[in-house]
Amino acid sequence: MIGGVITEFNLPTGNSAPWWIAAGPSADGALSSTENSRNRIGRITTAGVVTNEFTILTANSAPRGIALGPDSALWFVENAGNKIGRITTGGAITEFTIPTANGQPSGITAGPDGNLWFTENAGNKIGRITTDGLSVNEFTVPTANGQPWSIAAGPDGALWFTEINGNKIGRLTTLTLGLSSLLQERAQSHMPLKPVERLPSRSPWQQ
């Protein structure tokens, strides 16, 4: 028998526009979601109890994608703030600015190389950030104005992403150390890319 019982839980803050959700570390036993309109990260237990809503440091940042990182913290993107955020299960938030101005990050996922990978919808790039936040690489999507949106780690050890405007599925392979990558699209157009490494600004709130 296939189960299909749906239960809904109200958020304490009205009109918060929850966007994305991700499970936290197993020891935490909760999930975290982005509240796009209210600029918060919410935490809900599997019993449906919202225990916290943490305000993001940058005002009106429009948080969207969120994912569990290999460091047991939750990583999220700030679409309007143009930053990558990191939040511990205790609510300590750190922010890192993306090198490309107005990149509009949308989705984020943990990669097989121990780093976080994210899409830049307006920047038309795929970004990579280390868990210490000190190194960022950006890779341009071959299709102009492809508008990459969501991203996920595939079973083949590559990163897969969607292109809303390009009407394509993209695939990005990476070596273990993230020093060389190959970005491909479903149409089989592909090109080797040389990563450009830059140092993002670091928040004084780093924990």
pLDDT at 200 over 50: no
**Tens digits of residue pLDDT in 131-156:** 999 999 999 999 999 999 999 999 99
Residue 203 lies inside a defined structural domain of this protein: no
Residue 179 lies inside a defined structural domain of this protein: yes
Burial of 201 (0-12, 13-18, 19+ CB in 10 A): exposed
Residue 5 lies inside a defined structural domain of this protein: no
Report the C-alpha gap between 180 and 193 in whole angstroms. 8
Report how far apart, in Å, the C-alpha atoms of 193 and of each of 8, 42, 106, 121 are.
45, 37, 22, 18
**Tens digits of residue pLDDT in 73-100:** 999 999 999 999 999 999 999 999 999 9
Residue 154 lies inside a defined structural domain of this protein: yes
Residue span of the structural domain in which 93 resides = 18-198
Whether residue 135 contacts residue 96, with contact meaning beta carbons closer than 8 Å, is answered with no
Residue 27 lies inside a defined structural domain of this protein: yes
Q: What is the pTM of this model?
A: 0.85
Residue 205 lies inside a defined structural domain of this protein: no
Residue 12 lies inside a defined structural domain of this protein: no
Q: What is the pLDDT of residue 186?
A: 59
Question: CATH number for the domain including 189?
Answer: 2.130.10.10
Residue 4 lies inside a defined structural domain of this protein: no
Q: What is the pLDDT of residue 63?
A: 98
Report the C-alpha gap between 201 and 157 in whole angstroms. 29
Q: How many domains does the chain have?
A: 1
Q: What is the pLDDT of residue 179?
A: 36
